[in-house]
Structure 1
Amino acid sequence: MSYFEIGKEETPFKLVVKRFMKHRLAVAGSIFMLLIILIAVFAPVITTKDPYHVFDEFSAPPSAEHWLGTDQVGRDVFTRLVYASRVSMMVGLGAVMIYTVIGTIIGAVSGYFGGWIDTCLMRLTDVFMSFPSLMLILVVVSILGPNLLNIIWILGLLGWPSVARLVRGSVLTLKHVDFVKSGIVLGLSTPRILFQHILPNAMAPIIVQATFGIAAAIIVEASLSFLGMGVQPPTASWGNMLTDAQSLTVLTSQPWLWLPPGVMIVLVVLGINFIGDGMRDALDPKSMK
């Protein structure tokens, strides 16, 4: 092989990006999610209206002044929809970051050390997974109180068991490979072997799991807010904007109050799931060619 041929070889990262770009739905989902993140970050630039300001028009249909109309209180629906994207992104990213870190540490320690440590940690995981998740979340929220930070922490502290099991399985496989045994022979410390050599090779399934977890967290937050146990008014949330849809009058004659947040939830969850599918295919070592 010539020098120039060696220089043209693709790195693993480039191969992953190349495979991901072939997944059209994943690329479309990525573009859409980037747009949503930009909308959330630059919400004051996109709309100059205050999401809490009450106008004289109540339940007004879409117009030039109010692109998506006003709600029953007189607040601009488009403005609240834009600011509500911040809540969904904060809940999705915040909760997933918390429980991914917790689950990764617990799963890595359990899988690497084994024995009684593995038994205790996995039984703890089984206990957490034995409770109906939504019911447990509702109970904890009712005790601590419904607000944005509590929702993020509750979802983060209760969502780690699936990640822990996933990481444990990967670590159980990787700890028997040659490079780990070589590190042990060389006298490397256990934290260094675990966090610098094993976990980096187990990141693919963790990334995929975290991607799908963002969509799940957004759905849970919307469900809690719809039930009145999530983000509380007047803070805008796609879930609490859907609360107006409980009225038959709103459902039939005022679709601008519930259709925009409902469509946004569907599109965001679909976009994230498409990204997850693309990441899963791109990071699959069996399909790396």
Structure 2
Amino acid sequence: MENQMHKAIQLIKRYQYSEARKLLTEIIQNEPKNEKAWLWLTQVAKNDRERLIFLKRVLHINPGNELAQRGIEILQKRMVVETPEIPFKPTEFSGEKPLIEVSRQPAEFTQRADKEKSKEVLVSKIISKQSDFDSQMKEGVFRIRFKRIKIHLKLTWKRLKNSWNVFSQNRLALIGVILLIIYSLMAIAHPILIKTVWPRGIYDPVTGFDLNVINPSPPTSAHLLGTDGLGRDVLSMLLAATTPAFIIGLTAAIVTAVIGIFVAVLSAYFGGWVDGIFSRISDAFLLLPAPLFMIIIGVAFNELKPVTLGVLFGLISGLGGAAITLRAYALTVMAKPFVEATKIAGGSAFQIIRRHLIPHMIPLAATLMMISVIGAVVADAFISYFGITRLYLNWGTMIYTSQAYGSIFGNIEWNVLIPPSIALSMFATSFYLISRGLHEIADPKLRMR
């Protein structure tokens, strides 16, 4: 037996597995408890399930065999279908039956398990191919969306470039932009000067007072525009009043555009009773001018903040003249052939409004925004000039105080009256000039003049 075992081992080392299997089978038929033969038989097993059977036989003979224990543990983790326990009896190998007949039941089970395993492999391949296809589809959709975004950005940039070319040809509009930049620098400069250069006790626009001059004082090197009757620096007051003007103007402009576009779009697209209701509302607000309405509001509520005043003015202006103007333009857009083509193609109301109506109305809405800024700032100045509200400092408040304290001191403080008047006028002028340039963008007919 030792010679046969040695010969079988040599055959295994020379990769002659079939001959080695025959020799090992003869050995275990003669010696069913030959642990070494069963262990070497695992090297020539046809598959993992047969190898697992041989290793379990080794453990049946010698439960302390570490090689068999480790082999069984590895095989059980690697196998997809776990092989059921198969009892081993010493009498099974007492006859002259070959090994293949002894393990007939495990072989049949192995074939069935192999078929199941092949099915699972096929299913896993199909799933992997499907996942690859899904990932490719997602990647393709992402690329398409990215290309669309890229195209939209290019078109938007091209439109902005063309609009700027039209706008830049209007010299008055460029002057308005320059003036607006100057006012922006004024609003930015004041808090910086207060924190770095100007002592707050002297140059604070509300509580500042200079003990070294006789108030009111004319312009000096320390006070470039002089001081008012309360000892406050006029230049500091002028710069500080720029920020509330911007807040009121921009708030009113945004609210005007949003309300005006909303009303115009609904009226032009749906028409009928919707158009009738909004038309009556617009006519009612058109009869009551926004500046006059703001004065009435200021009398009733004399402690309104800049944002609140801007929202109120934008609401009145948006429901009034802005809504009427934008509605008329929206009706012309609705009559265009591309809108009819979109309807025939099955485009929804949201698509028509988002892709056609609103983009065409933005230039005209921007023009109305600039006009709304002028009205809001002037209305706020009038409210403060009449002394209705002095909750915050603005140019109207400066004009009011120059005349109020002028009557007390016996003469009008011209250094306090003239700068805010010029600032208010030029601020309104800057937005008006910008609106001229935007109007040319909205109406191509004006470019031919």
Q: Same fold (TM over 0.5)?
A: yes
Partner residue, 2:163: 16
Residues matched between the structures, number: 278
Q: Quick check: 1:85 aligned with 2:232?
A: no
Partner residue, 1:5: none
Aligned pairs for 1:65-214 (under 5 A) are 65-148=222-305, 149-160=307-318, 161-214=320-373
Partner residue, 2:178: 31
Helix, strand or coil at the partner of 1:67:
coil
Rounded to whole Å, the distance in 1 between the matches of 2:410 and 2:373 is: 28
Q: 1:54 aligns with which of 208, 212, 215?
A: 208
- The answer on whether the counterparts of 2:440 and 2:447 sit within 8 Å (CA) in structure 1 is no
Instruction: String of CA shifts for 1:169-207, please: whole Å, max 9, x gaps.
Output: 111111122221222223232122112221101222211
Does the C-alpha gap of structure 1 residues 50 and 117 become closer, same or farther in structure 2, counting only changes over 3 Å?
same
Instruction: String of CA shifts for 1:141-160, please: whole Å, max 9, x gaps.
Output: 23333322332222122111
Helix, strand or coil at the partner of 1:156:
helix
> Which structure carries more relative contact order (alpha carbon 8 Å, separation 6+)?
1
Does the C-alpha gap of structure 1 residues 267 and 287 become closer, same or farther in structure 2, counting only changes over 3 Å?
closer
Deviation at 1:133, TM superposition (A): 3.6
RMSD: 2.3
Helix, strand or coil at the partner of 1:258:
helix
Rounded to whole Å, the distance in 2 between the matches of 1:265 and 1:246 is: 16
98-107 or 132-141: bigger deviation: 132-141
Larger-Rg structure: 2
Q: Quick check: 1:221 aligned with 2:368?
A: no
Rounded to whole Å, the distance in 2 between the matches of 1:144 and 1:193 is: 42
TM-score between both structures, scaled by the size of structure 2: 0.58
Rounded to whole Å, the distance in 2 between the matches of 1:164 and 1:209 is: 10
Percentage of pairs with the same residue: 26
The aligned amino acid for 2:167 is F
Rounded to whole Å, the distance in 2 between the matches of 1:108 and 1:287 is: 24
Helix, strand or coil at the partner of 2:242:
helix
The aligned amino acid for 2:374 is A
Gaps of 5+ in 1: 1-9
Gaps of 5+ in 2: 1-156
Deviation at 1:78, TM superposition (A): 0.6
